[in-house]
A and B are shown apart, each in its own frame.
Chain A
Amino acid sequence: MNMTAWMKKGWSWLRTHMDPRLFMMLMAIVVGIFGGLAAVLLHHMIEMVAGLFSGYRQRAWSFLLPAMGAAAAVYFMEKIVREGGGHGVPEVIYAVSRHGGLIRLRSTFSRIFASSMTIGSGGSAGPEAPVVMSGAAIGSNIGRILGLNERQRVVLVGCGAASAIGSIFNAPVAGMVFTMEVLLGQWRSSHLLPITLAAVTGTQLSRRLHGNQIPFESAIFGIQMHDTLASAGLALITAVVAIGLIRGMRRMHGLSLFLASRCHLSPWTRAGIGGLFVGMIGIFFPVVLGEGYYAVREMIAGEFSSGIIFVLVILLAKMLATTFTLGWGGIGGIFAPSLVMGAMAGLLYHRILVFLFPAVGWVNEGCFALLGMAGLLAGVLQAPLTAIFLIFEITGGYEVVLPLMVVSAFSTILCRYGEPHSIYLKDLVARDELLRPGTDGRVLLDLRISEVMEKDCIPVQRNMLLRNFIHLLKNSRRNYFPVEDAATGRFVGMVHLDDVRPYLLDQMLYDTVLMEQLMHRNVMVVHPDDELGDILETMDRLGLFSMPVVADHRFMGMISKATLLDHYRKELRVQTSDE
């Protein structure tokens, strides 16, 4: 026996004999290593591209850099790897909810390259969503190559994403929570445990390679009760900014598509034009360029330039730059810009507070910058837990946790009034494609017609006599009888027992009535490839309880609500259980 066959046998033994939970833990570690590596790679790529361009920053034409970066990134995505643009996160959620977490192999690296070009050249976007996509794609492809089932593959997708987030932020809990709250949308121990392990692995790996750095180290603030109370007011500002950002992105996207269709622009020229605007904003406010973490550090340290109006203008400029980058088709995430804008919103709120109540001893503005980050993140992602844990971890201070929770909770609620769905789910919900497990849509999507079809209906011929039909009735179990043409076998109509009942005991009619005379001709039929959701809608609309399935004019079986309920319950139980 050669080596491959031997390994194949061993693998198959492992799959069937090893405890599946333990097996998933092992796989989680493997995926965690690769996810962590992807995040480290992206980190280095952005630094490298930024270093490449840094020599030209002082030139007069440097405002063209973001345009070049964005255009090159989209060109790379469109022409070289042939993938659609987008944040990455909605694509992962879609893959998880619709295709059992199946993601293309090229997604493991495509967005890393594209987003490093965008961000390194100065585009206002973040590296997180691309790295989530890469991590998820790594998990998905490891699962696919090893022949795992869909549920296991979804867990590995989550593992990849959690390890990537954990690695890039040095925040394992945030990675785990983000995955559960945003990507998978469900909390199950069978998911949680491997994902935890993957987040730990990814984070440990990045600490090993980068050192254990806390991205936004903060001093001790000394928060008092009035600060916690005031943070509720901050939530109002962050919610307004979050709604503004989400709507701004959508408007910008619509505008760019409109102009592109009018002027016949290719996607990469479109992204280039967006980048050009970003570059021009960057001439006046260089702080809006890139992921913007440097500015965040300044704000948290309380070293940011003073003035209420200045902060407001910078905030609007950053929002504009972000919408120009991402709304015009640039490749990158919304995570980092949200953090930057959140810090600015916090700063703005603090300066307003100090202006209105100068006598109160407020905590320093760095603390409010932190809270603003959490508030905006919670609003934009509709994920309060992710916001709380992320800020808490990337600042390394447990002290802010109380106002952090207040601002995240209020911001999420307030933002929901303006925008009921997060920026990631908006498009999916609009296309009616957000299908979380255990929901009606998901159950109906999974059930195929071939599974719920009743095949024990006895077909009758159109010229059959009533006498013969009654003889046949004795052996039938169903009330419906499809009528077929004897010569061609084509489906011509349906006979229901109710149609025959009045003549059942009338012996006179036995040899005079043909089935053709009893049948319904214009019967609503369904095709085996129809979606069950649509079929049920038709049944409800017409008040039907069952419909024949017909393909190529041949009768295949019946679909009935009663049988469907039976399968529906089984499916629901199986989908919602944690085994």
Chain B
Amino acid sequence: MKRLRLQETAAGLDLPVHTLERWIRQGRIPVVLVDNFCVFREEALARWARQHHMPFRIREKDAASQGVFCSEGLGAALQRGAVMHLLDCKDREDLLWQMVRAVPFLPPAMEGLLLEKLLERESMVSTGVGRGIALPHPRVPLDNFPEKSCIITAFPHEPVAYGAMDGQPVFVLFLLLARDVKAHLHLLSRLSHCLQDERVYALLMEKPEKSALLEMLAAKEKALGEKQVNRP
């Protein structure tokens, strides 16, 4: 026997609370209401939900894990990834390869795959967005990697020919690895917003250290508004 709050049960069945309340009153669902608590046999309710093509998931502690994405801003992702100052690199592929190897917690078996995905994306349309900036990323997130989004920043010693839209060689690259497409777009939108700022651009030209970069971007992100940060 399981005992859950009415609201939690309704959320688990993806129903409005009013509907669940009415169904219990009408006896259409194998749940008994005792003092605003739903009492039910878990397997019976799961079977009922299956029969009626309804989702049924009890999320008691899941709310915390849901919050992860919400709090995951640009700063956190940058913090997780390295900021690299590369001394020598032959070409675009070599540059990307060095960045892939710097990805934290990436199993060595997946390194080749990731590089392949990055190059595949570059071959469609270059991720060199102009003014010497490139945002390489795989077209779709890798399976089960990463658990939390991260961004690897690289400043090659000499600007590298990247096939960017405006033809300029790139001097800074942000490798975006997100948990899912939604998180990816969220990060991309944040990053592009920051990069439009001339002060940020000027800072990037100086090839700053990780701490300086983080400080600047964190301030910028904060200005974007708390409200937006908390919205998925």
Contacts and interface: CB of A to CB of B under 8 A. Distances in A.
Interface of A: 12, 15-17, 20, 100, 148-153, 446-448, 450-452, 475, 567, 570, 573-575, 577, 579
Contacts of A447: 19
B54 interface: yes
A20 B34 CA distance: 16
5 contacts: A149-B26, A149-B27, A446-B22, A451-B19, A577-B51
Interface in B34-80: 34, 39, 48, 51-54
A150 B26 contact: yes
Given A16-B32, A577-B52, A475 B26 contact: no
A574 B1 contact: no
Nearest to A149: B27
B34 A148 contact: no
Contacts of B26: 100, 149-151, 446
B29 A574 contact: yes
A149 B22 contact: no
B157 interface: no
A99 to B, nearest CB: 11
A448 B53 contact: no
Contacts of B1: 16-17
Nearest to A20: B30
Contacts of A149: 24-27
A12 B34 contact: yes
A266 B128 CA distance: 92
B28 interface: yes
A16 B34 CA distance: 9
A475 B228 contact: yes
A475 B52 CA distance: 33
B79 to A, nearest CB: 25
A196 to B, nearest CB: 19
Contact of A451 (B18, B28, B53, B228): B18
A43 B22 CA distance: 40
Nearest to B52: A573
B201 interface: no
A143 to B, nearest CB: 10
Contacts of A12: 34
B208 interface: no
A153 B228 CA distance: 50
Given A17-B1, A448-B22, A570-B54, A579 B30 contact: yes
Given A16-B32, A16-B34, A448-B18, A574 B24 contact: no
B48 A15 contact: no
Main secondary structure of the interface of A (DSSP, over half): helix
B9 to A, nearest CB: 14
A148 B52 contact: no
> Chain B interface mostly helix, strand, loop or mixed?
mixed
Nearest to A155: B27
A38 B34 CA distance: 33
Given A12-B34, A448-B18, A475-B231, A579 B48 contact: yes
Contacts of A450: 16, 18
Given A17-B1, A574-B28, A579 B51 contact: yes
Contacts of B228: 475
Nearest to B47: A579
Residue of B1, B19, B34, B51 most packed against chain A (CB within 10 A): B19
The 4 nearest A-B residue pairs measured at CB: A151-B27, A149-B27, A150-B26, A451-B18
Contacts of A574: 23, 28-29, 52
B26 to A, nearest CB: 4
A16 B41 CA distance: 9
Contacts of A579: 30, 48, 51
Interface string B203-232: 000000000000000000000000110010
A567 B228 CA distance: 31
Contacts of A452: 16
A359 B39 CA distance: 74
A245 B227 CA distance: 73
Contacts of B231: 475
B22 A451 contact: yes
Given A451-B18, A573-B53, A152 B27 contact: yes
Given A574-B28, A574-B52, 17 more contacts: A17-B1, A100-B25, A148-B27, A149-B24, A149-B25, A149-B27, A150-B25, A150-B26, A152-B27, A447-B19, A448-B22, A450-B18, A451-B22, A567-B19, A570-B52, A577-B52, A579-B48
A475 B189 CA distance: 13
A15 B22 CA distance: 18
A575 B22 contact: no
Nearest to B16: A451
A570 B14 CA distance: 11
A450 B51 CA distance: 26
A41 to B, nearest CB: 30
Nearest to B40: A16
Nearest to A574: B28
A150 B51 contact: no
Nearest to A154: B27
Contacts of B52: 570, 573-574, 577
A447 to B, nearest CB: 8
Most chain A C-beta atoms within 10 Å of own C-beta, residue among B27, B48, B231: B27
A450 B20 CA distance: 12
B55 to A, nearest CB: 11
Contacts of A446: 22, 26
A567 B52 CA distance: 12
A15 B32 contact: yes
A16 B25 contact: no
Given A17-B1, A446-B22, A475-B231, A575 B28 contact: yes
A448 B15 CA distance: 13
Contacts of A567: 19
Contacts of A570: 15, 19, 52, 54
Contacts of A16: 1, 32, 34, 39
Contacts of B30: 20, 579
Interface in B131-175: none
B29 A150 contact: no
Among A150, A452, A577, find the residue whose CB has the most chain B CB atoms closer than 10 A.
A150
Residue from B23, B26, B52, B231 whose CB has the most chain A CB atoms within 10 Å: B26
Contacts of B28: 151, 574-575
B230 to A, nearest CB: 10
Contacts of B22: 446, 448, 451
Pick from B16, B34, B227 the residue with the most CB of A within 10 Å: B16
A563 to B, nearest CB: 10
Contacts of B27: 148-153
Contacts of A153: 27
A573 B18 CA distance: 17
B10 to A, nearest CB: 11
A543 to B, nearest CB: 27
A573 B51 CA distance: 9
